[in-house]
Amino acid sequence: MRVRFSRGVITIVVVVVVLAVGVSVGLYHLLKRAPKLAVQPEAYCTAVTPEGTIGLDTEQARISATIAAVAARRRLPERAVVIAYATALQESKLSNLGYGDRDSVGVFQQRESQGWGRKKQLMDPVYATNKFFAALVKVKNYRKLPLAEAAQAVQRSAGGYAYAPHEGDAKILAAAFTGRVPRAVHCWYPPAKKTPPPRPRTIEARKQLARALGSTAITSKKRGWLVAAWSVAHAERYAISRVGYSGVTWSNDVELEGWQGGGKAGDRQVELS
């Protein structure tokens, strides 16, 4: 049996075929241009240690670096840093929150009504961290206690059990930001579109580092890597594009992963530019 098609049906088929070809060609050229049209990625940081890897946004990295610096100033053991990180991960996800349950604010969700300080003070991560550690060291045998018990003794939270699941991530962060693991912290942020680009505010960066760490003198390789990690974590805030220490360099280059060899910086000073 022979099937006959009307002119209308044939016309529709031709139009559909032409449209399909047109869409295919257009899609092909669009895909060829895709790299140019791609949305610029957001700033990010990573902490890479033998214990594992954690991805952070730049605020989380800055707060992590601040906690480690305050602990070093107070000459506290790494266990104290781990407890602080686990607490902050549970309370705020390592963010400086301006809100919380009732009057809780800040990294550790401390409450003005409970005597932790005024809200403005609690929103300062350096102040809030110092208050946390001042309370932690008063907990008897806090180094030997299960993490959740030590954290709960400070926070007196309604759900103290919730701190324990963060211990693994807290150990990774502590290894990276205390400087125990070299080259552990890497960040990238989108370069400014201004012409000329903003000048790095290295003097301001060192001043803020001193608020948390006290003396910025490099007295050991571990301390040097703590300062280097702090500097990389704060690079976006202070328009820093390079950090050099111990013969290697971090650069704000999306094409590079981690620290690169060949830098001129020695072991006695962390160089910023």
Cβ contact 107:123 at 8 Å? no
Q: How many CB atoms lie within 10 A of CB 50?
A: 8
180-209: buried (b, 16+ CB within 10 Å) or exposed (e) per residue? bbbbbbbbbbeeeeeeeeeebbeeebbebb
Q: What is the pLDDT of residues 208-243, one digit of tens each?
A: 999 999 999 999 999 999 999 999 999 999 999 999
Q: What is the pLDDT of residues 5-24, one digit of tens each?
A: 455 544 444 444 434 434 44
Compute the average pLDDT of residues 141-160: 91
Question: Cα-flanking dihedrals φ and ψ of residue 251, to 5°?
Answer: -125, 145
Question: Cα-flanking dihedrals φ and ψ of residue 106, to 5°?
Answer: 85, -175
Dihedral (Cα; 209, 103, 147, 130), 10-degree rounding: 30
pLDDT at 148 over 50: yes
Compute the average pLDDT of residues 19-31: 40
Using alpha carbons only, how large is the chain's radius of gyration in Å?
26
10 Å CB burial of residue 133 (0-12, 13-18, 19+) is: buried
